């Protein structure tokens, strides 16, 4: 057995080996409780491949059963390396017809190998789906036409088991590839970059964070950050200290993943270092809770309702945690992880809400002050981990990082603070911080994550978007030129063209979705209704056939729906609320039946951050739709949009 597969052997050795011994080796490597149906499936696969491949040229050919695919510990049924070509084979034993979801699964395995397995970057990969009870073709000599994408991954083909040899011979003859050592290929590094949903599922299933989140571009491994935080938690308990840690990073760098890792490591309420992941981001909490519950149901015999109760302990809405603490009780958690801590409410917003909505007469505290006070109720020790993203404040009353530091300075000076020097970096964190705010804390460099994992093809995306939002087309264009071949960004004036382009880019299980600013009211004329509310669980987790899902490109998500989450490919619709003109940026709000200029600097920042969020959701690429406008409609004049369209092109973005 190789460390990548449950069974690995040269093809000639596999063909003469005893089928029961092969099946036994696979079963012995399987860590989960086996069902009889699974063992029978392996037996059927072995028998089919022994029968069909006995005439295959075996020189340097190699076969792997249950080959590990990057990202979440998934395993492909069979990977076959023949004459320099990698075949990823997915069996559906007993299936009589082809299922689109099964085709997407096989295709997804091939894409994950290409993107996240370093040995596969320069190889041709062919995904094959075999439905064992599919009606036999009238001729075994069918011609297999392959459609290879730019990265040399073929679209999946579905065949009868009796067509395996013919398919392999045709494809290898056509491609004429140079052979390579299959064992060296298999042993090459994995560099997975999961979505936050996949990462949460993997952590909840007790996968190691270092195995599910590595990137070729990483200068700071998030595993190091996690280990540092776990050590600080343990030290706080041992030495009876109260500690707050600020973890900063660029958008998509893995801050939320770090927090989820800490919470999942100590998710049992009976543990001494019991932790909880808290977020005020309602859609993120709902999507993660539901995704984890569904995943747990698949892995256990528990009911979905029971699974949901479990995941609701692991991940909670911060407002539920806040309101549950109003009695003055000591929280059961010794460690509280606050996601997007910069979005906590200021004193005015919190006090108004608590007095009018929660009947807390005389309440006069900011949300950071109150949350620290709640954790300070522990007599012996407590830890707060504040995950801070820069340029993410998008709503009225969000206090930013300064609110936490002021609360520590004024009321909780007995707490020990840890952060990195990057806390002062103006590109990511509010520029109203000064060195004096950091004078009492301890600096730990590993508490800043400098590399985005969300866009695994373009780690410089967040900086590109920063320059674009700032209106600096020269620097934006220069930066985009360094990764545009890996991460396509297009612009168009035609919505149908935008939808066609994004659909053409998406493959297998890759997600797509349409986004727009929550104040993009006049996109209504284009059929884009930002006032219609989506159900995040359905939009993010629904299958492509579900009309409520993001895949249909009908329901629109705003910055409030997608912050903290991501898609593979995004269609971003750009309205006249944020305009680029020759004299600079303009910030507008649509109110009633007309556009009004945003005069206050804070509301301008909220708008820019809304677009920053929208433009950093895509992992693999995006298309931006800028309407042409209509001069017969005073709310959609072409001049509102034309300069923005021109500016985006000056940033290097090409037209579809």
Neighbour count for residue 262 (Cβ, 10 Å): 28
pLDDT band at 558 (very low <50, low <70, confident <90, very high): very high
Please name which of 646, 604, 653, 650 lies closest in space to residue 624, comparing C-alpha atoms.
653
- Contact call for residues 64 and 2 (beta carbons, < 8 A): yes
- Contact call for residues 514 and 573 (beta carbons, < 8 A): yes
- Contact call for residues 295 and 202 (beta carbons, < 8 A): no
pLDDT in tens, 391-442: 555 666 777 788 898 899 899 999 999 998 887 765 545 556 565 666 678 9
For residues 65 and 4, what is the distance between their CA atoms, to the nearest angstrom?
Answer: 9
Inform me whether the pLDDT recorded for 106 exceeds 70. Answer: yes
Question: What's the pLDDT at 173?
Answer: 92
Please tell me which of 93-102, 377-386, 414-423 the model is most confident about, judged by mean pLDDT.
377-386
Inform me whether the pLDDT recorded for 299 exceeds 80. Answer: no
Full-model pTM: 0.81
- State the average pLDDT for the chain: 88
Please name which of 502, 519, 498, 499 lies closest in space to residue 511, comparing C-alpha atoms.
502
Inform me whether the pLDDT recorded for 36 exceeds 90. Answer: no
Please name which of 496, 501, 520, 507 lies closest in space to residue 588, comparing C-alpha atoms.
520
Q: At CA 213, angle to CA 207 and CA 215, rounded to 5?
A: 150
Inform me whether the pLDDT recorded for 298 exceeds 70. Answer: yes
Question: What's the pLDDT at 438?
Answer: 64
For residues 84 and 71, what is the distance between their CA atoms, to the nearest angstrom?
Answer: 24
Q: At CA 237, angle to CA 234 and CA 242, rounded to 5?
A: 110
More confident residue, 93 or 39: 93
> In sequence order, what are the beta bridge partners of 126?
87
pLDDT band at 450 (very low <50, low <70, confident <90, very high): confident
Instruction: Give residue for tokens 């920053």.
Output: 612
pLDDT in tens, 146-155: 889 989 999 9
For residues 63 and 26, what is the distance between their CA atoms, to the nearest angstrom?
Answer: 13
Q: Which of the residue ranges 116-130, 200-214, 445-459 would you say has the lowest mean pLDDT?
A: 200-214
pLDDT in tens, 322-368: 988 999 999 999 999 999 888 889 999 999 999 999 999 999 999 99
Cα-based distances in Å from 332 to 1, 310, 313: 45, 16, 11
Q: Residue 549 has what DSSP assignment?
A: S
Tokens of residue 47, six digits: 């028998």
Cα-based distances in Å from 84 to 68, 80, 138: 20, 10, 30
Inform me whether the pLDDT recorded for 385 exceeds 80. Answer: yes
pLDDT > 90: what percent of the chain? 62
For residues 294 and 288, what is the distance between their CA atoms, to the nearest angstrom?
Answer: 10
Cα-based distances in Å from 396 to 17, 242, 344, 603, 604: 68, 31, 10, 8, 11
Tokens of residue 152, six digits: 């040399």
pLDDT in tens, 495-553: 999 999 999 999 998 999 999 999 999 999 999 999 999 999 999 999 899 999 999 99
């Amino acid at each position: 057995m190789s460390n990548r597969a449950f069974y690995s052997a040269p093809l000639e050795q596999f063909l003469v080996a005893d089928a029961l011994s092969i099946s036994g080796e696979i079963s012995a490597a399987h860590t989960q409780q086996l069902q009889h149906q699974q063992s029978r499936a392996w037996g059927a696969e072995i028998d089919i491949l022994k029968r069909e491949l006995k005439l295959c040229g075996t020189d340097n050919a190699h076969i792997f059963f249950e080959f590990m695919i990057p990202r979440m510990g998934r395993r492909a049924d069979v990977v076959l390396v023949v004459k320099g070509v990698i075949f990823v084979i997915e069996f559906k034993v007993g299936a009589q017809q082809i299922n689109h979801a099964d085709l997407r699964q096989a295709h997804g395995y091939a894409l994950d190998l290409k993107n996240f397995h370093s040995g596969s970057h320069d190889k041709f990969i062919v995904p094959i789906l075999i439905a064992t009870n599919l009606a036999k073709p009238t001729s075994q000599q069918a011609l297999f036409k392959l459609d290879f994408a730019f990265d040399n991954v073929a679209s999946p083909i579905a065949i009868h088991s009796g067509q395996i040899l013919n398919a392999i011979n045709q494809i290898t003859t056509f491609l004429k590839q140079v052979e390579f050592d299959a064992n060296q290929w298999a042993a090459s590094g994995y560099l997975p970059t999961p979505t936050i949903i996949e990462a949460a599922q993997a952590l909840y299933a007790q996968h190691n964070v270092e195995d599910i989140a590595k990137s070729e571009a990483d200068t700071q491994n998030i595993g190091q950050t996690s280990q540092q935080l776990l050590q600080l938690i343990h030290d706080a308990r041992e030495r009876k200290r109260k500690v707050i840690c600020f973890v900063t990073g660029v958008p998509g760098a893995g801050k939320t993943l770090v927090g989820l890792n800490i919470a999942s490591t100590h998710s049992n309420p009976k543990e001494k270092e019991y932790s909880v992941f808290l977020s005020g981001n309602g859609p993120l909490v709902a999507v993660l809770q539901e995704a984890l519950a569904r995943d747990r149901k698949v892995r256990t015999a528990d009911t979905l309702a029971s699974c949901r109760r479990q995941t609701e302990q692991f991940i909670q809405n911060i407002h539920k945690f806040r309101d549950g603490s109003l009695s003055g009780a000591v929280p059961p958690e010794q460690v509280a992880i606050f996601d997007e801590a910069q979005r906590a409410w200021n004193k005015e917003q919190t006090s108004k809400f608590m007095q009018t909505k929660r009947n807390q007469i005389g309440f006069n505290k900011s949300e950071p002050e109150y949350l620290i006070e709640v954790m300070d109720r522990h007599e012996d020790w407590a830890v707060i981990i504040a995950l801070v993203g820069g340029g993410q404040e998008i709503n009225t009353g969000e206090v930013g990082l300064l609110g936490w530091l002021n609360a520590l300075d004024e009321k909780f000076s007995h707490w020990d603070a840890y952060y990195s020097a990057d806390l002062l970096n103006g590109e990511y964190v509010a520029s109203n911080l000064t060195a004096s705010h950091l004078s009492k804390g301890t600096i730990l460099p590993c508490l800043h994550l400098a590399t985005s994992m969300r866009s695994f093809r373009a780690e410089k995306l967040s900086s590109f978007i920063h320059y674009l939002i700032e209106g600096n087309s020269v620097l934006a264009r220069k930066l985009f030129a360094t990764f545009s071949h890996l991460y396509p960004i297009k612009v168009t004036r035609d919505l149908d063209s935008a939808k066609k382009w994004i659909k053409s880019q998406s493959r297998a299980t890759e997600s797509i979705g349409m986004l727009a600013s929550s104040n993009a009211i006049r996109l209504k004329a284009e059929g884009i209704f930002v006032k219609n509310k989506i159900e995040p669980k359905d939009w993010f987790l629904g299958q492509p056939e579900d009309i409520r899902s993001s895949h249909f490109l009908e329901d629109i998500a705003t910055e409030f729906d997608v912050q903290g989450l991501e898609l593979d490919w995004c269609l971003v619709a750009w309205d006249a609320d944020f305009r680029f003109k020759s004299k600079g940026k303009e910030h507008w709000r649509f109110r009633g039946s007309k556009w009004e200029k945003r005069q206050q600097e804070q509301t301008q920042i909220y708008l820019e951050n809304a677009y920053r969020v929208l433009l950093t959701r895509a992992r693999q690429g995006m298309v931006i739709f800028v309407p042409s406008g209509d001069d017969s409609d005073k709310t959609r004049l072409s001049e509102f949009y034309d300069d923005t369209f021109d500016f985006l092109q000056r940033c290097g973005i090409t037209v579809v």
